[in-house]
Every structure is written in structure tokens, then in C-alpha cells.
Structure 1
Amino acid sequence: MTTTTPGERTDPLQAVRDTPGRGAPGGFAGAIACEWTKLWSVRAPWLCLLAGLAITGVYTFYYASIARINDHPIEPVGNAAASSVVLTQFAVAVLATLVVTSEYATGTVRASLLWVPRRQRVQMAKVLVVAGVSFAAGVVYAVVGAAVAWGAFDGRASFEAGTALRQILSVGLYQALVAALAVGAAFAARHPAGALSILVTLLWALPSMLLGLGGPALAAVNDYLPHGAGDHFVRVGAGAPYAPATAMMIVVAWASAAHLIGLYVLRRRDA
């Protein structure tokens, strides 16, 4: 029996939080399991992933057909799938954004933070689950895209197993990093329109403007934006100004910055 002294404030959840054992709420494994269950309990993730798959098939067929019709130089078949990332990354970004903002819209974020009081643990669980799903989706997209493009290229592409495998894994890793970046942006904005505005600007609008205006200085700036670096990471023979490992680290830096900004907002503001 627990006794309290007069004037002492009690927390009815403290005994639960302090209960030892593998099944205690707030555990990291439990937080991941919870996020995994929540992710697949609604239709939106399935629709996002299927949309990305459809976009991959259409884009890679178009890319390879144009290369064949215009008699472009022979290139690795994986470049078609790598190029489709400019569009398929938004399927992943929307999925990751909804994982966060849907809880703020419905108020269920309060239940999530009540069950897992350590806010950084909630955010990290979401990042790991969504990034893992996005990596798998990116790998599937790359495989399907390469298969579709191979037929459409009709001899205007080359295939080398090592290069193809590297590009497939690179596309998966880039999609995972985009998902991590999107989770951070969603926690910072807390609203789907705000988060998606940030992501569209960063991943598409700003790069398009810089490349559209032209000039080496603006192109150099684009090389250090997430998609600019990601494109150098996933494509082969694109004339990158740095090594693929450097390109990956640039995208990691952007995802990490978004994660930290989102965590700061999550800790500072009430749910």
C-alpha cells in the first residue's frame, strides 16, 4: 500500500512508468512496435507506396523510350530508376509526413506521448519505422524501374550486376533519408500543408529554379541540396563534383538537421 504525505502531489502514471520488465510502456522496442502497428492500420501508407510504384513504371518507361528514340549514348539501365527518384521521393515524403501530422490532427499524439514519455524516443521510433519501410520501397522501385526500362531501352542501355546492385541499394538508402528528413519537417511544422510545402520547396522547387536559371554558381549550390546530392549518389556517370560517399553524407546531414529541428520543436511545444 502506498502512502503519501499531506500536500504531496502524486502522478498516477509514475508507478506504471517505473514498473520494470520488458513490457513496460516507454521501452524503445515497444515504441517501434507501436509505430509499426499504427503505420499499417490505415490505408494511406499503402496508397502512397502503390502510387510510387506506378510512377516508377511510367517514368522509367518514358525515360528509356526517349533515350532510344533520340539515340542517346548507352548508359547503365539503373539510371532510369535513379532518375525516377525525382518524383517517387514525394510518395515517401507524403507517407512520412502523414505518420506525424495525422496524430496532431486527431489529437492521438497526446496518447503517444503519454505512453512513451520520452519524446526523443517517439520521434526516433517513427524515423526508424518509416525509414525502414522507405528503404524497402526504394529497393522495390529500383528493381521494377530497371526491369521496365530494360525492355524500353531496346539495346540502348548496359547491364553490369555490381553497378545495378549499387544503384538499387543507393535508391533505397536515399528514399530512407528522405523519409527521415520528412519526419523531422513534419514534427517542426505539425501540419501536412506546412510540412509538404517545406519538402516540395527543398526537394523540387528550389533545385528546379537553380538549374533553370543556369550558371555554374547556381548549379554548385544545387549540388549541396538534398536532391542534388542524392542524384549524384544514385546515378552513374552524371559528372558529380564529389565522390558518392560525400553525396550520401550531404543527404545525411540534411536529414539529421531536420531531425534535430523537429526534436527541438517537439520538446519545446505542448502537444
Structure 2
Amino acid sequence: MTTATETRPRIPARYAVTGPKVTMRRVLRSEWSKFWSLRSSWITLVSATIVLLAFGIIAASVYRPHATHASGTPTDPVGLALTGASTAGLIVGVLGVLLSAGEYGTGMARSTYVAVPKRWPVLAAKSAVIGALVLVVATVTALIAFGVGAAVLHGDAIALNLGDHGVLPALLGAGAYLGLSAAFGVALGSLVRSTSGGITALVVIMMLLPALASLLPGSTGDKLKPYFPGNAGDAIYALHPASHSLAPGAGLAVFAGWVALLMAAAAIRLKRTDV
């Protein structure tokens, strides 16, 4: 007794059915869809916007020219308008962590990298989407906060207009800082691959690192502080940089360098380790 074995003709590779070619444009479109499909994404973005706008308006409203201001309190219209920039930067950094590390928690990362085997385009697209979106939203919000604050401070000695020297670059710098902060969070989340771990690392790097530097012997800590991510980022949108801080252009270069370094580390881990 013999068993008949069914044989199927082998389909030449040139006739095999393949999916759409993976292109950067398609990856960008996918990441854009992912962002808006998650409620937490736009809620976090709206929260950062509210913080930046509300803090700026409140700071301008409560400002009194003859009052004694604590050290570090802004005394110029741009500084008042951007009072909430550091807090907003932390929020959009958390947003970046959620977008990247969150996929590892849900298991979506595995499906994503099956669709995009090279992996690094996902990291680049995710950073580009959230970075560009935050850049635009934050810049518009900073301009609105300054406009409202300028109306409140009209007639005061510190009052400035948008066309005055350094005002517009500082407001645009705030948008750049927040956009880079979001990309920083994406890279950190992709590197750590844990939402809680990524957020913790973000807080330590952006807020606690300068404080820890003061424990270093001699003047070493003071020399290093301006080059830490948080301090370099704050310098980007300063109208009148402090004597111990970087100039806005230098701050932008240093902070962008930190983002690039973290991106490179995340890309290397994506290439060398499994999901």
C-alpha cells in the first residue's frame, strides 16, 4: 500500500507576494497614527501646554516691580512667560518615555520590529514625530504666554515687545528645548525599556544631577553644572543668561549633543539585543 504525497509547485521568488516596502515615510505615518491613537499621549501633551501657558500668565499677573524677589525668580517678561518651561520639559520628557518604553510593556514593540526589521527607523520616526509636534505646540504656547504677559505688564519698567532684542529667539528657544526634551525621553525610554525606570532616570538626569554635582570636591561641580542636560536646556531660552550658565547657542548645542548621544546608545541596543 502506498501513500500518495501531494506536491505543490514551488513559486519562484520573483513571483512571491510581498508586503509594501518599508520606507521612512510609512514609518513616520505609522508613528503619527500611534501617537493620536493613545489617549495618554495627547492628554500628556495638553497637560504640558497648560502648565507652560498657565505658569507664564500667573507669573506675570503676580509680578510686582518693587517686591523683593527670591533668588532665581525671573525678573524679565520672557523669564516670567517661560516660568513653567522646566516643568513642561519634564512632562514632555515623560511623554517621550511613555511612547517608547510603553511599547515594550504591552508587547507592541515585537510587532513593530517585525514590520520594520532594521529597527532604527522606528526610533528615528518616533523621535521626529513627537519632537516636531512638541516643538510647534510649545513655540505657539510660549508666544501666547508672552503676549498675554506683555499685556499684563504693559507700562511696567520691565515691559518688552516681541520685536525687542533677544525676545523672539528666547521664545523660539523654549520650543526647541521642549522638542528636544521629548526626543530625549523617547531615546531614554527605548534604552531603558521600562516606563517606571525611564521616568525615574529622566527625573534624576534632568533635576537631581546638578544637585548631586555640588557634592564634588572643590569647584569641579560648579564647572560641570552648566553642561548637564537640564542646565544646558534651561540656557537655551534665557533672555539674560546667568554668569555661570552657557549662552543660548552653546546650551542648544550641548543639549542636542546629549540627545544625540542617548539616541546613539538606544540605536546600538536596538541592533544588538532582542526585544
Per the TM superposition, whether the score is higher than 0.5 is: yes
- Tell me the TM-score normalized by structure 1: 0.84
For 1:40, the aligned partner's letter is W
The sequence identity of aligned pairs, in percent, is: 23
Q: What is the CA-CA distance between 1:140 and the residue it aligns to?
A: 2.4
Choose 1 or 2 for highest CA Rg: 2
Map 1:137-156 to 2 at 5 A.
137-153=137-153, 155=156, 156=158
Q: What is the CA-CA distance between 1:159 and the residue it aligns to?
A: 2.1
Asked if the contact 2:57–2:81 (Cα under 8 Å) also holds between the matched residues in 1, the reply is no
Q: Relative to 1, partners in 2 of residues 1:229 and 1:166: Cα closer, same or farther, differing over 3 Å?
A: same
Asked if the contact 2:49–2:138 (Cα under 8 Å) also holds between the matched residues in 1, the reply is no
1:269 and 2:267 are equivalent in the alignment = no
1:259 to 257, 263, 275: 263
1:106 and 2:106 are equivalent in the alignment = yes
Cα-Cα RMSD: 2.8
Asked if the contact 2:52–2:82 (Cα under 8 Å) also holds between the matched residues in 1, the reply is no
Q: What is the CA-CA distance between 1:198 and the residue it aligns to?
A: 0.9
Q: What is the CA-CA distance between 1:163 and the residue it aligns to?
A: 2.7
Q: Which residue of 1 aligns with 2:86?
A: 86
Q: What is the CA-CA distance between 1:268 and the residue it aligns to?
A: 1.9
Q: What is the CA-CA distance between 1:75 and the residue it aligns to?
A: 5.2
- Tell me the TM-score normalized by structure 2: 0.82
Q: Relative to 1, partners in 2 of residues 1:169 and 1:118: Cα closer, same or farther, differing over 3 Å?
A: same
1: CA distance between counterparts of 2:139 and 2:205? 23
2: CA distance between counterparts of 1:37 and 1:79? 35
Q: Which residue of 1 aligns with 2:67?
A: 70
Q: Relative to 1, partners in 2 of residues 1:69 and 1:212: Cα closer, same or farther, differing over 3 Å?
A: farther
- Structure 2 residue runs of 5 or longer lacking an equivalent are 1-8
Asked if the contact 1:81–1:141 (Cα under 8 Å) also holds between the matched residues in 2, the reply is no
* Residue aligned with 1:158, SS: coil
1:57-113 CA-to-partner distances (Å, cap 9, x unmatched) read: 332234332454626699542222334211000221121111112211111111111
For 1:256, the aligned partner's letter is A
1: CA distance between counterparts of 2:97 and 2:47? 15
- Structure 1 residue runs of 5 or longer lacking an equivalent are 5-9, 18-23
Which is worse superposed, 204-213 or 246-255?
204-213
2:225 to 217, 222, 226: 222
Q: Which residue of 2 aligns with 1:121?
A: 121
Q: Which residue of 2 aligns with 1:27?
A: 23
1: CA distance between counterparts of 2:93 and 2:99? 10
The structure richer in helix per residue is 1
Q: Relative to 1, partners in 2 of residues 1:211 and 1:236: Cα closer, same or farther, differing over 3 Å?
A: farther
Q: What is the CA-CA distance between 1:160 and the residue it aligns to?
A: 4.0
1: CA distance between counterparts of 2:68 and 2:153? 10
